[in-house]
């Protein structure tokens, strides 16, 4: 029990981030880009992504949670618009760690749209389509994974194991 096998190595993560950046540079907005990071899980991914993105951005944060110390989402999304920034008439790139049920990403997108941005695109490190409950897909995906609980590279269990460089399976 606990931390299991590595399913995505830190080397694979670094390579994929570089290719995601090139995709974003070629396909996202030619104008300004405001990035909103969903905390806490996406902090590692967003930091590395922005450090490698050859595009000037402004930055904001939203805190969202639905797990509450469990390995399955409660379905109740708690949002805290910390420092989202001014987003009216801006092009938004919303970054999250994992797209699982789709409920969190969908709730955050709906909250953001109320503030009048020009557009909202989404980028996630991990996509777990087998768990989707709502019709929500990311515009940019790092890796698609099976239906396993994972920790590392910002992803946690009960706020632990975020520090791991690789992404591991986890069994509480």
Q: Which residues are catalytic?
A: 100
Structure-token pair, residue 53: 């993105």
- Report the alpha-carbon distance of residue 151 to residue 164 in Å, rounded: 8
Segment (H or E) for 44: helix 43-52
| Closest to 84 (Cα-Cα) out of 73, 95, 75 | 95
CA quadruple 131, 5, 139, 87: dihedral positive or negative? positive
* Cα-based angle 4, 19, 21 (whole degrees, multiple of 5): 110
* Distances from the Cα of 25 to the Cα of 19, 32, 33, 49, angstroms: 10, 12, 11, 11
């Amino acid at each position: 029990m606990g931390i299991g096998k590595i399913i995505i190595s830190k080397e694979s993560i670094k390579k994929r981030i570089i290719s995601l950046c090139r995709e974003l540079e070629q396909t996202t907005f030619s104008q300004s880009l405001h990035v909103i990071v969903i905390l806490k899980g996406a902090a590692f991914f967003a930091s590395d992504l922005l450090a490698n993105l050859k595009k000037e951005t402004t930055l904001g944060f939203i805190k969202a949670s639905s797990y509450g110390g469990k390995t399955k989402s409660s379905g109740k999304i708690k949002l805290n618009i910390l420092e989202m920034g001014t987003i009216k008439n801006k092009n938004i790139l919303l970054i999250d760690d994992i797209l699982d049920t789709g409920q969190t990403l969908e709730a955050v997108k709906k909250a953001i749209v109320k503030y009048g941005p020009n557009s909202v695109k989404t980028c996630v490190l991990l996509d777990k389509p087998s768990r989707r409950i709502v019709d929500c897909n990311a515009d940019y995906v790092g890796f698609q994974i099976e239906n396993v609980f994972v920790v590392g590279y910002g992803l946690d269990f009960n706020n632990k194991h975020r520090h791991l460089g690789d992404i591991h399976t986890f069994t509480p």
